[in-house]
Amino acid sequence: MSDKKELQVAALKNGTVIDHIPSDRLFTVVSLLDLKHMDTNITIGNNFESKKLGKKGIIKIADRFFTDEEISKLSVVAPNVKLNIIRDYEVVEKKQVVMPDELKGIVKCNNPKCITNNEPMQTWFHVIDKEKGLLKCHYCEKEQLKDNIKLL
């Protein structure tokens, strides 16, 4: 592999770099951001060494900038990811993921007797405590911790 090719993968003129993704969550992040349906250059790397995480994943997306709402979805699976916003090869902004006030259609309710687990419909959670990751199902009203919850 030539130096030039490596550079082409590494450098991003404009776009977003998502860093510090836990390796086992990388493909979940890919699907939550719906990268499958983007047609710009996307580089996905995984199992890089990380002091904090052991192994981490990185995603570089050219010419795409996410709204806070779009990235807030990641708070459930990868709350510590860092986003670098690149313009003209420079990092112009760093963003962290903030837990949103509500989660719609992202996670599954833990309660087997909840209507959302028995009817073709979207789940809906109210975030009660962002620090603890405490969620309350809008429908069955059961409170649950995000760590115990499954993605849809």
Partner 1 sequence: MKTVNMENRSLVTIANHSKERILYLLEMAKEFEKKPNRRLLAEKVVATLFFEPSTRTRLSFETAANRLGARVIGFTDPKVTSSSKGETLKDTIMMVSNYADIIVMRHYLEGAARYASEIAPVPIVNAGDGANQHPSQTMLDLYSIYKTQGTLENLNIYLVGDLKYGRTVHSLLMAMRHFNPTFHFIAPTELKMPEEYKLYCKEHSIKYIEHTDFTEDTIADADILYMTRVQRERFTDLMEYERVKDTYILNSRMLEKTRPNLRILHPLPRVNEITYDVDESPKAYYFQQAQNGLYAREAILCDVLGITLDEVRADTNR
Q: What is the DSSP letter of 113?
A: T
89: helix, strand or coil: coil
DSSP run (H or E) holding 134: strand 134-137
The phi, psi pair for 47, rounded to 5°, reads: 60, 30
Report CA-CA distances (Å) from 150 to 8, 78, 98, 101, 105: 37, 13, 19, 18, 11
Nearer to partner 1, 90 or 143 (CB): 143
Q: Please report how close the Cβ of residue 152 comes to Zn ion at its closest, in angstroms.
A: 13
Q: Please report how close the Cβ of residue 73 comes to partner 1 at its closest, in angstroms.
A: 22
Q: Please report how close the Cβ of residue 39 comes to partner 1 at its closest, in angstroms.
A: 35
Q: Looking only at residues 98 through 117 of this chain, which bind partner 1 when binding is defined by CB under 8 A?
A: 111, 113-116
Per CB under 5 A, 114 contacts Zn ion: yes
Nearer to partner 1, 39 or 119 (CB): 119
| Binding-site ranges for partner 1 (CB under 8 A) | 111, 113-116, 118-121, 137-143
